[in-house]
Amino acid sequence: MTDRQVEFHAFYHDLRIVDQKNFYSARSDEYRAAHRQAIIARNLDEAELDWSTTDPHADQTANVDRVEEILRKEASQWGQLVIEASSSDNGGKSPH
């Protein structure tokens, strides 16, 4: 191959294939996060429906625990996303 062919080969790899792979990988990560958020929203919808049909004078411990567990899961998922994003920004190194 000529020098120009070698340059084109490297250029196309880096600026077309790798760039597009990174773009679609990032979109895939976004869609996974959106899917998790949709599950949380659905769970909160169900919890809200259950909450609105319970007697306000009854013991609400189980209902409160359910909502708090949903929100804890959401917070831990966001924490994981922050760690993953920070890790990818640092070339895969832990932020700590």
* Residue type at position 51: W
Query: Which residue would you say has higher pLDDT here, 41 or 76?
Result: 41
Q: What is the pLDDT of residues 33-67, one digit of tens each?
A: 899 889 989 999 999 999 999 999 999 999 999 99
Instruction: Taking residues 87-93, report their average pLDDT.
Output: 61
Res 96 pLDDT > 60: no
Question: For residue 33, what is the DSSP state?
Answer: H
14-22: average pLDDT: 96
Q: What are phi and psi of 8, to 5 degrees?
A: -60, -45
Helix, strand or coil, per DSSP, at residue 56? coil
Q: Which is higher by pLDDT, 77 or 18? A: 18
> What pTM value is reported for the model?
0.58
Can you state the percent helix, strand and coil of the chain, rounding each to 5? 80, 0, 20
